[in-house]
């Protein structure tokens, strides 16, 4: 077994779609980034790379490289999963914590869970999604950013 942790933060601005865990969420603002800025899938990809000892997404998908502009988080995650499989690992489970003052994420958690499970090719019971507000303090609490932490467990294929 191997464990990995991932984190990501993106600024919340007007005129961008909000995509979290591969789910498009109706909101007046979205996350700024070179790619689709899906903090959940980015943190998940980093957790997978960490558990497999493969570095981070910045090394594999540099944001200075135009080929990754607007990159879909699901595509990034699929690519990372391919690297992890090649090393002989499969996903055991993952635990996701999203920090967002708004919008309210509770209604979206079931779909995010299903979408993440599909992307990871695991049962939805192996995916847990939590949502926390920023208690109206700091950049999260002021609604300036959304961040995400993920812990993932990998199991050796056999
Ligand atoms: Mg990111």
DSSP for 39-100?
Answer: HHHHHHHHHHHHHHT---HHHHS-TT-GGGTT--HHHHHHHHHHHHHHTTEEEEEEEEEEE-
Burial class (CB in 10 A: 0-12, 13-18, 19+), 92: middle
CA of 53 to the centre of ligand 1 (A): 19
pLDDT exceeds cutoff 90 at 69: no
pLDDT higher than 90, residue 35: no
State residue 87's pLDDT score.
Answer: 96
Largest CA distance in the chain: 47
In this prediction, residue 52 carries a pLDDT of 98
Could you read off the pLDDT of 91-127 as tens digits, one per residue? 999 999 999 999 999 999 999 999 999 999 999 999 9
CA of 96 to the centre of ligand 1 (A): 15
Q: Find the mean pLDDT for residues 51-76.
A: 89
Measured between its terminal Cα atoms, the distance across the chain in Å is 12
Is residue 44 scored above 80 in pLDDT? yes
**Averaged pLDDT score across all residues of the chain:** 95
How does pLDDT run across 139-155, given as a tens digit for each residue? 999 999 999 999 999 99
Distance separating alpha carbons of residues 133 and 125, to the nearest angstrom: 24
Given a cut of 90, is residue 36 above it in pLDDT?
Answer: no
> From ligand 1's centre to the CA of 144, what distance in Å?
15
Share of the chain above pLDDT 90, in %: 88
Task: State mean pLDDT over 38-65.
Answer: 94
DSSP 133: -
How far, in Å, from the CA of 158 to the mean position of ligand 1?
32
pTM of the predicted protein model = 0.95
User: Residue 70 pLDDT more than 80?
Assistant: no
């Amino acid at each position: 077994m191997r464990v990995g942790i991932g984190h990501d933060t993106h600024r919340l601005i007007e005129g961008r779609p909000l995509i979290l865990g591969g789910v498009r969420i109706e909101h007046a603002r979205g996350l700024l980034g070179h790619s689709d800025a899906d903090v959940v899938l980015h943190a998940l990809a980093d957790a997978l790379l960490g558990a497999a000892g493969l570095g981070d997404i910045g090394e594999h998908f540099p944001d200075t490289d135009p080929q990754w502009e607007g990159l879909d988080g699901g595509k990034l995650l699929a690519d990372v999963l391919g690297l992890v499989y090649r090393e002989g690992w499969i996903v055991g489970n993952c635990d996701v914590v999203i920090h967002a003052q708004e919008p309210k994420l509770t209604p979206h958690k079931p779909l995010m869970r299903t979408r993440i499970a599909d992307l990871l090719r695991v049962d939805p019971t192996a995916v847990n999604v939590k949502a926390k507000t920023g208690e109206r303090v700091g950049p999260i609490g002021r609604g300036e950013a959304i961040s995400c932490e993920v812990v993932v467990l990998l199991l050796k294929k056999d």
